Amino acid sequence: MKERKGFIFDLDGVLVDTAKYHYLAWKRLAEELGFSFTEEQNERLKGVSRMRSLDILLEIGNIKASESEKNEWAARKNEWYVEYISNMDASHILPGATEFLVEAKELGKRLAIGSASKNAMIILKNTGLFPYFDAVIDGNKVTKAKPDPEVFLLAAEELEVDPTLCVVFEDSEAGIEAAKRAGMAAVGIGSKEHLSKADIVIPSLKGASCKELVKSL
């Protein structure tokens, strides 16, 4: 068994309950554009960058758009999303997440955020989660979106931990693929059906023992 020293967490849907706000904002845009958008379809957008998410949404709605329309729509979605998260506080931290981070710290792990979101920093600050992390890699620091492994490789580099000794916690298919492409272990947070490529899948961090979990990787 390898000793996993670097723990890299996706933010939206793993540590904080923001995935629903992304969904609500995209759904609102879809409805404005005249089509409906389901939660099942939304699985394809999880973990994916803002512009790539918009492309997938427009493909679902069968809508062709110019670059300027796309920029305008992405900005509109983000305005709604930022409005939804503006009142965020520690109550939006997902059950078990804080306890898990505390245990990981006590075990001497190095912790990083590996998120596609350009809004990650505001969420970390509003929820009080920021001080737990030794590195934060977000959508402002990467050039390639998940499933590209760039975000996780940069996180490992900042943590100064070899990628093969890192473990990623992710709720998206794209993120699990990115972790595996980075040569890391992947813990899926959610359903086995959506995250079949993960090394282990748990429904949430609630009740999860960090020590026990890494033993099985």
Catalytic positions, written as ranges: 10, 12
CA–CA separation, 5 and 165 (whole Å): 6
Q: Which does 173 bind (CB under 5 to 8 A by kind): ligand BG6, Mg ion, none?
A: none
Choose between 159 and 189: whose C-beta lies nearer to ligand BG6. 189
State the residues that interact with ligand BG6 by CB under 6 A: 11-12, 22, 45-50, 53, 78, 115-119, 139, 172
Q: Smaller CB distance to ligand BG6: residue 41 or 103?
A: 41
Contact in structure between 80 and 25 (CB atoms under 8 Å) = yes
Residue given tokens 């520690």 in the structure block: 90
User: Which residue from 6, 12, 156, 166 is in contact with Mg ion, where contact means CB under 5 A?
Assistant: 12
* Number of residues in contact with Mg ion under rule CB under 5 A: 5
Cβ atoms of residues 146 and 53 within 8 Å: no
Tally Cβ neighbours within 10 Å of residue 64.
7
Residue 181 makes CB contacts below 8 A (sequence gap 6+) with: 147, 148, 149
Q: For residues 158 and 170, which CB has a smaller minimum distance to Mg ion in the complex?
A: 170
Position 10 contacts Mg ion (CB under 5 A): yes
Footprint on this chain of Mg ion (rule: CB under 5 A): 10, 12-13, 171-172
